[in-house]
Structure 1
Amino acid sequence: MPTSIRTLSTADLDRASQILGEAFTDYPWTNWCVAEDAHLDRISSLQRVYLEHMALPHGSAYIDTTGNGVIAFLPPETPAPTAEVSARIVELHGDRLDRLMAAEERMSTLPVPDGAWVLATIGTTPRSRGTGLGTALMKHGLTELDRAGHACWLDTSTERNLPLYQRFGFTVVEHIALDGDLSVWRMHRREP
Structure 2
Amino acid sequence: MASTGGLVVRSATRADLPRITAVLGRAFQDDPFMAWLVPGAGRRRRQLPRFFALNARDEHFRLGSIEVAERDSVLQGAGLHAGEGPSLGAALPDDLILRLRLAMVAGSRTSEVLKGFELLEAARPADPHWYGRFVGADPDRTGRGVGARLLRSVVNHCDAKGLPLYFEISNHDPVGRYERIGCEVHGKVVLPNGPELITFWREPR
The answer to which of 25-34 and 68-77 deviates more is: 68-77
Of the three residues 52, 55, 63, the one matched with 1:58 is 63
Alignment of 1:1-192 (within 5 A): 1-36=5-40, 38-65=43-70, 66-74=74-82, 75-78=84-87, 79-80=91-92, 83-84=96-97, 86-112=99-125, 114-179=127-192, 182-192=195-205
TM-score (norm 1): 0.89
* Pairwise CA RMSD: 2.1
1:133-159: CA deviation from partner (whole Å, max 9, x where unpaired): 111111112212221111110111133
Partners of 2:193 and 2:59 in 1: CA distance: 31
- Residue identity in the other structure for 1:68: Q
Secondary structure of 1:38's counterpart equals helix
Number of residue pairs aligned between Structure 1 and Structure 2 = 192
Residues 88/182 of structure 1: CA separation in 2 closer, same or farther (3 Å cut): closer
- In the alignment, structure 1 segments of 5+ residues that lack a partner are none
1:24-50: CA deviation from partner (whole Å, max 9, x where unpaired): 110000101224352212111111111
- In the alignment, structure 2 segments of 5+ residues that lack a partner are none
The answer to which of 51-60 and 20-29 deviates more is: 51-60
